[in-house]
């Protein structure tokens, strides 16, 4: 079996002997490569969106969620953080007489808020506070102004689950139901 040789001052020596003599260099080289790889991976991570892009994206998600006249529960659940968990409760609400008047939302203001405020509202970070109206036919305000939240997850803004769960709690109360809507953790 032949060994690759490395020229080292006084003649060739097998590569394995050359590398053993450089033990202090190998850990440094390995650490440098790991740091370089981490930096390269970190630079490909999407950054948080700008405030103006956030408002447009959040507005779109709120309009999708509150367009109850469409009865498209799958699209509505897709606009909500962990929407699949509240889909059954949302479906019940959407198909009720109370909700039939809701045709969308008007987002009045979006404010990106600090991580500590997000945490205090039980919303994952990054998040935003959203002031909105729920609209009825002809664009009339049916409910509002309300305060809700949005969270940025998996590369997009979503209506925070706490927002829809708060409204579902109100719906349950009006309908005479007790308990917590399915998919909404009790407070």
Q: What is the pLDDT of residues 91-140, one digit of tens each?
A: 999 998 888 888 889 999 999 999 999 999 999 999 999 999 999 888 89
Going from N- to C-terminal start, the domains of the chain cover: 5-43, 51-175
Contacts of 5 (CB under 8 A, 6+ apart): 12, 13, 14, 15
Q: Is the pTM of this model over 0.85?
A: no
> Domain 51-175: which CATH class?
alpha beta
Q: Indicate the DSSP class of residue 95.
A: T
Closest CA to 168 of 67, 92, 60, 62: 92
Distance between CA 55 and CA 152 in Å, rounded? 12
Choose between 71 and 20: higher pLDDT.
Answer: 71
pLDDT in tens, 19-30: 444 444 333 333
Angle at 122 between CA 118 and CA 125, to 5 degrees: 40
């Amino acid at each position: 079996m032949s060994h690759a040789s490395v020229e080292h001052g006084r003649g060739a020596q097998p590569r394995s002997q050359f590398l053993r003599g450089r033990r202090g260099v190998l850990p440094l080289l390995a650490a440098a490569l790991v740091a370089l790889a981490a930096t390269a991976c970190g630079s490909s991570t999407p950054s948080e969106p700008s405030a103006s892009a956030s408002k447009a994206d959040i507005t779109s998600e709120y309009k999708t969620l509150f367009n109850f006249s469409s009865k498209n529960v799958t699209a509505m659940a897709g606009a909500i953080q962990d929407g699949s968990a509240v889909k059954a409760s949302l479906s019940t609400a959407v198909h009720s007489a109370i909700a039939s008047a809701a045709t969308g939302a008007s987002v009045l203001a979006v404010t990106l808020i600090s991580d500590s405020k997000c945490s205090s509202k039980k919303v994952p970070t990054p998040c935003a506070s959203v002031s909105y109206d729920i609209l009825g036919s002809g664009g009339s305000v049916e409910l509002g102004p309300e305060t809700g939240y949005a969270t940025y997850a998996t590369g997009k803004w979503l209506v925070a689950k706490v927002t829809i769960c708060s409204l579902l709690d109100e719906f349950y109360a009006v309908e005479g139901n007790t308990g917590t809507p399915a998919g909404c953790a009790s407070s």
